[in-house]
Structure 1
């Protein structure tokens, strides 16, 4: 059996991850034929058929799951080597990629990265806005700024502040008309607790969204009451705070990097500067400033 190049397995894993050749080609930045050729080459050299082709796409043959998992372990090891190699890169310069939620990317981080950029002509930032957890192990970002009660095991960071929440509605909205949280924000522990309480009280859910910015706009349109971070709820001229059906503890804001890069000078310096800037925004994040009142 001929030896298989690791690079060929990237194509196999992309198909396994994405579920189709077309999606894998888009992820890898190659054409459809290249993915087919590389996957077929691996299957020919191994003497096995890795995927079952159906109308649903490419599915891993059940008896080949262990082989795919072994390839994923190799991929993780290769990624770890690349991250460790980057750890020696020193000064805080060039483009720092920061991922955070849409709320923080819209309301807080732009002014912070603007100040940091002005203080260093060699430094710029790219903000990646997503409410989902981005896999930093694939080098999608240098730093993540996340409101959460606990970081996942693959991240290391420090708490740099807290984000307070409140309940809001436009004038004239009925007390039993509510907006729900879906997607990642619907998995926040007190979002689930709120839904359980409102369902018990017989509330009517008029709509839902997976973004607090979208929920604010929907609330401003009079669709229902909603839970929002105070930094966006208090700024709305169309909303006012309403009775809280449950208590909402402030959510810690972590500034973190991938655990393998925690001590890398680049990531450490970026985390330290962003954390210091967030600490200066403490009252704003808690909804205590005159601007938010």
Structure 2
């Protein structure tokens, strides 16, 4: 297995973790053919197949489960070592990567950036905006701010805020609904949106609340938005709630392997404080 390209391993793990080649391709941001090619390269280098091919897709061979988990642990150990080897900044600190969805990156994290930066000095803050969940075990980010009902078992963190939602529209805009796509389509807000639309097909879909807000401002229809995006926008008005609106918890956390590292804990504390400071606007109460 000495000839294995370890970068191919993430494509193997992508299929294992996401359940299909297509889902892995979407999560990794590549096309279907790339995933197949990289899996084939890994299997050829390893000298044995990892998956069973079926009409329904790829299934991990039972005798390869232990190998895949051992490879996963090895890859994570290499990533942790690389993280610790990051060069220091001129001020003697390190660059810490914080990731979240674009809604929070462009509002709370932008507004509170100065306060967070002062609390983590001499370390520097790098914000990575992504509506896809980055792999914290593979150096893609150190800390995440994640709107979700709960954190996965691989992460440890704290609930530090809530996102409230409401329906917004431009005055005189179209009598239509704007729908969710991509990761948003599996959110609690998407369930509420379906109830609001009452079977009326949306006139447009987007995988970003920022895009949905822009469509609403252009008069294309009504959008269910986080209040922190919709409130106080001159081109939008907040409509009366026709039903209970969703509330999404917001977590600040890191991979379990990073728990206890002082600079990581400092960043988590700083971000959690920033979220609490913006609690009212996030819930739609100010």
Does residue 247 (structure 1) correspond to residue 247 (structure 2)? The answer is no
Say which SS state the counterpart of residue 70 (structure 2) adopts. Answer: helix
**5+ long unaligned stretches in structure 1:** 27-33, 54-58
Distance apart, 1:115 and its partner CA: 2.7
Distance apart, 1:99 and its partner CA: 0.8
In structure 2, distance between residues paired with 1:247 and 1:137: 37
Distance apart, 1:116 and its partner CA: 2.9
1:121 and 1:268, CA in 2 relative to 1: closer, same or farther beyond 3 A?
closer
Say which SS state the counterpart of residue 220 (structure 2) adopts. Answer: coil
In structure 2, distance between residues paired with 1:159 and 1:83: 26
1:85 and 1:288, CA in 2 relative to 1: closer, same or farther beyond 3 A?
same
Distance apart, 1:141 and its partner CA: 0.9
Does residue 184 (structure 1) correspond to residue 180 (structure 2)? The answer is no
Aligned 8 A contact 1:88 1:265 in 2: no
Computed over aligned residues only, the root mean square deviation of the Cα atoms, in angstroms, reads 3.6
Bigger Rg, which one: 1
Equivalent position of 1:275 in the other structure: 272
Say which SS state the counterpart of residue 8 (structure 1) adopts. Answer: coil
Equivalent position of 1:115 in the other structure: 115
Say which SS state the counterpart of residue 203 (structure 2) adopts. Answer: strand
Task: Find the partner of 2:228 among 227, 231, 251.
Answer: 231
Cα deviation 1:122-147 (Å, max 9, x = unaligned): 22111111122222111211110011
In structure 2, distance between residues paired with 1:203 and 1:243: 19
Aligned 8 A contact 1:11 1:38 in 2: no
Cα deviation 1:88-108 (Å, max 9, x = unaligned): 89x993111011010011111
Equivalent position of 1:30 in the other structure: none
Aligned 8 A contact 1:80 1:260 in 2: no
Aligned 8 A contact 1:145 1:253 in 2: yes
1:252-267 equivalences under 5 Å are 252-267=249-264
Aligned 8 A contact 2:83 2:139 in 1: no
Equivalent position of 2:141 in the other structure: 141
Say which SS state the counterpart of residue 95 (structure 2) adopts. Answer: strand
1:133-212 equivalences under 5 Å are 133-175=133-175, 177-199=176-198, 202-212=199-209
Equivalent position of 1:222 in the other structure: 219
Moved over 4 A (4+): 34-41, 48-53, 82-89, 118-121
1:155 and 1:171, CA in 2 relative to 1: closer, same or farther beyond 3 A?
same
TM-score of the superposed pair, with normalisation by structure 1: 0.75
